[in-house]
Structure 1
Amino acid sequence: MFLRDSWLPLGIVLVVGGVLAALSPAVALGVFVLLAGGLAKAWAARSLEHVELERYLPESRAFAGEELRLTYRLTNKKLIPVPRIEMRDHLPVLLSPEELHLPPSSSPDSTLYTHSTHLGWYERASWSLDLPCPERGYYRLGPARLRSGDGFGIFSDEREEQQMDGIVVYPRTVAMADLGLPAARPLGEIRGKERIFEDPMRFAGLRDYEPGDSLRRIDWKATARRGELQSRVYEPSSTHHIIVALNVDTMEHPWQGYIPELLESSIVVAASIARWAYENRQAVGVLANGSLPDSDRPIAISPGRAPDQLPRLLEALGGIAPMTTEPLAALLERESHRLPLGSTLAVVSALMLEPLAAVLRRLKEEGQQVSVLSMVDEDWGELLGDVPVQRIRYDASKTEMVT
């Protein structure tokens, strides 16, 4: 704009020329240009001072298929009014309202949402959007930029807001019947609701080894001291433990990529089993050889029944990335010593390779209850031996959730 770039030299020329030519109107005009330009520049420079932008999300968690209300609040905390202010924010593509037809932004997988308004002194403006949540995942909102200026439209100023917000969309959960599993015992007969279990975290003493004792129960140091096999005895616990182990691998080799439909169906099954276990008063945890965004660690949540346990599990399954951190066999091998004795390991997988099958066979021999939930039409009997396998037939087109 001409005035923005030339107001200062123009004003000086008018004043100096008017003085030399003894033209008072030129001097007056030059003074006016200098005063107006200086005022406009100072106004623009302070236009964003004490202006605050806030994103307000009553809930930052939702199930797939729901909507979240996002509210923006712009507050001017000064005497100087802001005659024009524009906010530009980055929204995830999948969470962008279709009716707005937002253009793509420079950031990958995001759109650019723009809103303009004005603010008087000490005034607040607010407006809302309904964000669709069609698919599970972890989504980031931001960063936003504010652009304002003087009341004459000559100068402008910009500022990037550092605040980033996150939204977690939980995976869908479905009833056991929709997975082709019996509602009462989807994982087979679970011991523990009729009898007392031992808590391996509460050591009670030693006794002589008895045939049928798990090798994990044997105390080898005490055996060496006494010259006879000694088995550990633990204090009782009435809570049964279920660990849902999700295999994120859908292809044999990482470089082959993954099959989205199989992975998403597997996550729905894992989330549904976890919800069923929690609602049936079981201590439930999750293992998965995938990671959350900005993390390179596999997911390992110990079994529990705390009020926030189910949201923790669903959040982890909702945010899990499609690429694996390591084979599930390696994760189970490392975490197996932490599994409570007699617990149920529910393995949800679309791929069964010998290393994983070997770990599952060993865990079953050591006294764990192992149940494999297969997502594909393949015969794994030869690989798994006497480890039970159930074929899951889940139609990914179903959108009805358990509520």
Structure 2
Amino acid sequence: MRGGYLPTIVVVLFLIGVILGQVPLILVAFLLLLVWGTTRLWERYALTRIEYRRRLSAKRAFFGEELLLELEIANRKPLPLPWVEIDDEMPEDITFLKGKTTQSHKVDRVHLTSLLSLGWYHRVTRLYPIRCDQRGYFNFGPTRIRSGDLFGFSRQEIEVSDVNQLIVYPRIVPVEQRGIPSKQPVGDIRTKRHIFQDPILTMGVRDYHFGDSLKRIHWKTTARLGKLQTKVFEPTTSVDMGIFLDVRTVQPPGWGAVTQSLELGVMAAASIASHAMSNGYRVGLYANQRRKPVGELVRIPPSQHTDQLVYILEALAQIHSSESMPIGRFVSLESRNLPWGSTLVLITAVPTESLLATLLRMKRVGRQVALVIIGSSKIPRMDGLPVYHISDNTPWREVETLNLQGTAQ
């Protein structure tokens, strides 16, 4: 402890005062003894029975949404604290509308520091409005709390390791298509719906007709009636869409990232998924990078689950610029798991020759494929494959509508 020399000073002053009969020296000695005792008290108990809580008004938010961050500290003992410093580690990409942050030595982190005093059994709550100006997974915390005596002789510090997590979804904007209607990747659902008979939903039976599959024969009814009977299934509809996002934004073999292209790609994937699902599609998402912390490539198969869009947006919130597999190879592997009538929408800023060859090969064998290019990359004619461009001239934060500029191929 700083001030550990005080007991020696007290003893010396007291002895001198007694020997010389100087009452003021004796009083000073007792005053210093009181200061020393108080300092020891604060040193030992300042940060005991301190409660600290951090709350967010929501655990998930959309881009641009404003939330409240609540910080609360309580002193649960009869010892007042003349000063308490709270140092909260915060994500740099979250905008604090109130309060001042300082840069941390850690990458993408800042510190929010509060200085206050706490009386005995006293509680202080502070509210900080924040705005979500960047998609991602964000951790609030940990926190360091410091306190000590009034004179600065002692100082204690504790760390509160609790962390609050916030997921900020990517931007979703309206989708506007300008192209050949018959080739629109997310056009009117009525033009894309595939009608087939669902083998799970049986309506009844009918007499067997030449050419009916033996798998469809209803054997129990056949035995009862004495003649072959065929199952009749209910007609149903299914429209599946697989959105493939290429996270590479620079021409291979180069490495790095173009933030504008990456964010436009993520925004395009989120907006097309939302638009397609509102039009009745079953949408899935695929990206050629590994998700943290599971380490698996982004694979969300098409589904009608009520939370499907949430799953897609949460995956897109984590997208970064590190490629784990070339997109052409990834599409070839994953497309095998999609129903044959599915529409594949591939979003990329780097339409390489190998990727274009993969898409053409899929198109020629009957796959429904659409290519969405971020930026103004020029590509050769694609033999009937619908191609759309998204301009990268407007900063992604200012884009109000996702214009898919279709071109004839």
- Give secondary structure in 1 for the equivalent of 2:5: helix
Q: Which residue of 2 aligns with 1:389?
A: 387
Q: How far has the Cα of 1:106 moved from its partner?
A: 2.0
- Cα pair 1:138 1:293 within 8 Å, conserved: no
Cα distance, 1:77–1:363 mapped onto 2, change above 3 Å: farther
Cα distance, 1:12–1:325 mapped onto 2, change above 3 Å: farther
Cα distance, 1:76–1:362 mapped onto 2, change above 3 Å: farther
Distance 2:163 2:180 in 1: 44
Cα distance, 1:106–1:39 mapped onto 2, change above 3 Å: same
TM-score by length of 2: 0.77
- Give secondary structure in 2 for the equivalent of 1:290: strand
- Cα pair 1:270 1:348 within 8 Å, conserved: yes
Q: How far has the Cα of 1:87 moved from its partner?
A: 0.8
Q: Which residue of 2 aligns with 1:196?
A: 196
Distance 1:401 1:14 in 2: 80
Q: How far has the Cα of 1:305 moved from its partner?
A: 2.6
- Cα pair 1:76 1:124 within 8 Å, conserved: yes
- Give secondary structure in 2 for the equivalent of 1:348: strand
- Cα pair 2:350 2:377 within 8 Å, conserved: no
Q: Which residue of 2 aligns with 1:47?
A: 46
Letter in 2 for 1:68: L
Distance 2:180 2:274 in 1: 15
Cα distance, 1:281–1:82 mapped onto 2, change above 3 Å: farther
* CA shift digits 1:136-170 (9 cap, x unpaired): 23333222211112355432211122122333322
Q: How far has the Cα of 1:272 moved from its partner?
A: 0.5
- Cα pair 1:243 1:303 within 8 Å, conserved: yes
- 1:107 is aligned to 2:106: yes
Distance 2:234 2:5 in 1: 86
Distance 2:291 2:16 in 1: 69
* CA shift digits 1:204-252 (9 cap, x unpaired): xxxxxx9xxxxxxxxxxxxxxxxxxxxxxx9976332211111111222
- Give secondary structure in 2 for the equivalent of 1:276: helix
State the percentage of identical aligned residues. 31
Structure 2 residue ranges without an equivalent (≥5): 201-210, 212-232, 403-409
Q: How far has the Cα of 1:265 moved from its partner?
A: 1.3
- 1:373 is aligned to 2:365: no
Q: Which residue of 2 aligns with 1:244?
A: 243
Distance 1:36 1:377 in 2: 74
Distance 1:388 1:4 in 2: 78
Distance 1:366 1:80 in 2: 79
Q: Which residue of 1 aligns with 2:160?
A: 161
Q: Which residue of 2 aligns with 1:139?
A: 138
- Give secondary structure in 1 for the equivalent of 2:333: helix
Between Structure 1 and Structure 2, the one with more strand by share is: 2
Q: Which residue of 2 aligns with 1:264?
A: 263
Letter in 1 for 2:318: G
- 1:79 is aligned to 2:85: no
Cα distance, 1:132–1:310 mapped onto 2, change above 3 Å: same
RMSD: 3.4
Q: How far has the Cα of 1:29 moved from its partner?
A: 4.5
* CA shift digits 1:375-402 (9 cap, x unpaired): 23344344x4443222234663434479
Q: Which residue of 2 aligns with 1:123?
A: 122
Matches within 5 A, 1:1-400: 4-15=3-14, 26=25, 29-97=28-96, 100-177=99-176, 180=178, 186-187=185-186, 193=193, 195-196=195-196, 238-253=237-252, 255-292=254-291, 296-382=295-381, 384-393=382-391, 396-397=394-395, 398-400=398-400
Structure 1 residue ranges without an equivalent (≥5): 201-209, 211-233
Q: Which residue of 2 aligns with 1:206?
A: none
Cα distance, 1:34–1:333 mapped onto 2, change above 3 Å: farther
- Cα pair 2:55 2:164 within 8 Å, conserved: no
Q: How far has the Cα of 1:286 moved from its partner?
A: 0.7
- Give secondary structure in 1 for the equivalent of 2:335: helix
Distance 1:186 1:359 in 2: 18
